[in-house]
Chain A
């Protein structure tokens, strides 16, 4: 099925390790987003991209990096993992000009930093 694919679904990291969360969409959407979800806090925007080669910070970008070399892929990089980065991460995409349709979300990645 078409949509947003996130990998991995679960991961445990040790403090100081690094990893990349993968996100791919096959709907030719211009816009892509990374959110984190903490209990009782809703979803907060980490980074977003309006097209290949263009990225920008969201509300909580510290400790993360992104790149967008293709329309399809928008990986999120965690450098020097910290316990504060324990969270559920969602990737989402949307088509520019279809603002009333909301986002298509991936199924999320549950990350635990110990």
Chain B
């Protein structure tokens, strides 16, 4: 079974600075999908960014980008020019290519943004 590990329970960053959240995963599959979700205090789960394992190019979405290292099974999230609204729980998630396409989540990283 696949597992996802987020080794940083909490992180903090100054407004306008850059922060990187870590995620590693364990799988024997070659094709899969990786996601970062944001959960603000409203509790809503918001998709931040996604990466297909077969793509070598790292995904970017505005101020959010990933560093995908397939051989190392690493999928970190970089937030540039951090804003107060970025404060939230961030979850890394893995999804298989086939089967029921279940998402496997890490335990999350709580990000605090200091003004």
Seen from chain A, the residues whose Cβ lies within 8 Å of a Cβ on chain B are 31, 33, 35, 40-45, 48, 50, 56, 58, 88, 90, 92, 94, 96, 99-103, 105, 107-108, 110
Contacts and interface: CB of A to CB of B under 8 A. Distances in A.
A56 B100 CA distance: 10
Contacts of A107: 42-44
B105 A43 contact: yes
Contacts of B50: 100-102
Interface of B: 4, 9, 33, 35, 37, 42-45, 47, 50, 52, 91, 93, 95-97, 100-108
Question: Sorted from nearest, which 8 A-B pairs have the closest CB atoms?
Answer: A105-B45, A42-B105, A42-B107, A43-B105, A108-B43, A102-B47, A102-B35, A100-B33
Where chain A touches its partner, the secondary structure class is strand
A105 B44 contact: yes
A6 to B, nearest CB: 11
Contacts of B96: 99
B101 A99 contact: yes
Nearest to B1: A59
